[in-house]
Amino acid sequence: MTKAFSMSLPDSRPSFDDQTSFDNANRGFIAALEPCIIKNKDGKDVWNDEDYAFLSESCPSSANPSLWRQGQLTSKQGLFEVTAGIYQIRGFDISNMTLAEGKTGVVVLDCLQSVECAAKALEFYRLHRGERPVMGLVYSHCHYDHFSGALGILPNYSSDAESVPIIAPAGFLEEVLKEKVVVGPAMLNRAVYMFGESLPKGPTGHIGCGLGIASSSGTRSLIPPNDIITTTGQSRTIDDVQLVFQMVPDTEAPSEFNVFFPAHRALCIAECATNTMHNIATLRGAAVRDAKKWSKHLDETIDLYGKESDVLFSSHHWPTWGRKQLIKFISDQRDLYGYMHDQTVRMMNTGLTGVEIAETLRLPPALQREWHTREYYGALNQNIKGIYQRYMTWFDGNAANLWKHVPVEEGKRYVACMGGVDAVMKKAQESARQQLAQVYETLAFGSENAVWRNYYLTTAHTLRSADDPGMMSRGAASGPLAISPYSSVEDWLDALSLRIDGPEASNLHNEIVVSLTMLDDQVTWILRLRHGTLTYRSRASNERRDGSFVDLEVTLSKADLYKVISTGTVNAIEGNQAGDLVVLKTLLSVCGF
């Protein structure tokens, strides 16, 4: 018998009568934190879920009903049982903390974004499940909201470093540092807009981030992993808890794995399949993700663990129970990323640009009708443009766009074409900024996507107040260098090289050559500043030199070098040099210190 296919197009929206998401979000509930407010040591709020109590009301005209529904779901907080022996803390940050109970203690999978929230989550778990020690810590991937609360879980890290396994996927630390150091300030600037951090909480302001209700603002930390997973199928057993890993790099993060718990028949799918369409190209900035690999990895997930699992959960949102239901969930997500990739490429090869494809391509009706594929965090329009960019770069094929004017210069020319400044001012009303702000606000109120809503509303605020809430406007690109003491010397020098003011350094009359010999490992680093570029290489201290002239030689510890590079001062190494420290001060001066 052959299947009959209908070409009719039914209503391509999910039904608000479908309460499955609410049932799943409430299932396994044990207790809520009352009130759900978390403070830092100075008594300042770093998390306040109570600010979103207004979401219990009916959706107003200032919000998209679908996004309002998502806010209701993501604002649910407390301790939940996923299955016997596995628990989650949800609603204490933008992400979830998962705890798998072992013979004597607990294994923590992902530890939120801030130390204060992680500590409170662990304390709340212990209040209801007993004083179980942390026997292991697992980072599912290299984004801050899954690892930077680590010191809240292991406050005595220095003494626990050898005894507690800290597990992460291959490339984890490299990717963390790449994102933090290479483009950290620029990303922070965008993130203020994307996550709506400056917006008031309320029906006309912030109602969530789609992926979670909000991001916490507490202390961030980084504890390096001491156990790296490199291959799908590798496993670890911690305190009688067995974890089996599936490597899924270049999906939602460049370094990521899923975790299967065989004894619990439970699968943590990290952030590869959540209750929203995710980002292929994110507004905060990041390398464009590989939608095709994403789809293929999800297909592999079904093959490896679909029939072996009874519950699926992720690092955000709520779980899905039932083998049939979770396989459908992963399959829908697989098809979501595969469809947007393949159809974008197909239309690209017909000659359409990314913008043209984004305005044309729609998801199949069956995917549009699923709540978990709606555009709360990622957006089809921007994802299509991201896929186009990944293959075809920024250039749209129009010669007129090869060498465009910057907006200011372009604006001057438009003004000239319109008859000059006086004519333009006569045509424009004094309230033009206010009117544009109103346009953005109207777009925000109708948006189903939380990130677009936040960006529109923050921009409207900027237009009305002339106050840019972005980090760059507060000088985030200058001052102390944001590096980790746990990183390598090469990572620190990489970070330093990205701070060189090329034009200023190019004006120096001579090149600068500095030799740094590390007491910790007897490795010497040769730093060379020439033509506005800082290059560096290492050699063992007993290797012959290449005959290059060295302006300054310094023997120091790694700890002292960290002080120099993180602060831009040389006090820590005075007296340990051959040559004038003015040389190093000059190098640091062209790094923005």
Distance CA 113, CA 144 (A): 6
Any alpha helices (H) in 363-406, and if so which ranges? 365-368, 380-392
Give residue limits of the domains in the chain: 20-380, 489-589
Would you give the distance in Å from CA 3 to the centre of its chain?
Answer: 43
Query: How would CATH label the architecture of 489-589?
Result: 2-Layer Sandwich (3.30)
Would you give the distance in Å from CA 198 to the centre of its chain?
Answer: 18
CB-based burial label for 60 (10 Å; 0-12, 13-18, 19+): middle
| pLDDT tens-digit profile, the chain (593 residues) | 334 433 334 468 999 999 999 999 999 999 999 999 999 999 999 999 999 999 999 999 999 999 999 999 999 999 999 999 999 999 999 999 999 999 999 999 999 999 999 999 999 999 999 999 999 999 999 999 999 999 999 998 875 556 899 999 999 999 998 877 677 788 888 899 999 999 999 999 999 999 999 999 999 999 999 999 999 999 999 999 999 999 999 999 999 999 999 999 999 999 999 999 999 999 998 889 999 999 999 999 999 999 999 999 999 999 999 999 999 999 999 999 999 999 999 999 899 999 999 999 999 999 999 999 999 999 999 999 999 999 999 888 777 777 888 888 887 877 787 777 676 666 665 557 888 899 999 999 999 999 999 999 999 998 888 677 764 444 444 566 777 787 889 888 988 888 888 888 888 878 899 999 999 999 999 999 998 889 988 886 555 455 568 899 999 999 999 999 989 999 989 888 888 999 999 999 998 88
Query: Which amino acid is residue 43, in one-letter code?
Result: G
The H-or-E segment that residue 145 falls in is none
Topology of domain 20-380 in CATH is Metallo-beta-lactamase; Chain A (3.60.15)
Q: Are 329 and 318 in contact (CB under 8 A)?
A: no
Distance CA 247, CA 228 (A): 11
pTM of the model: 0.85
Any alpha helices (H) in 110-215, and if so which ranges? 115-129, 150-153, 157-160, 172-177, 184-194
CB-based burial label for 544 (10 Å; 0-12, 13-18, 19+): exposed
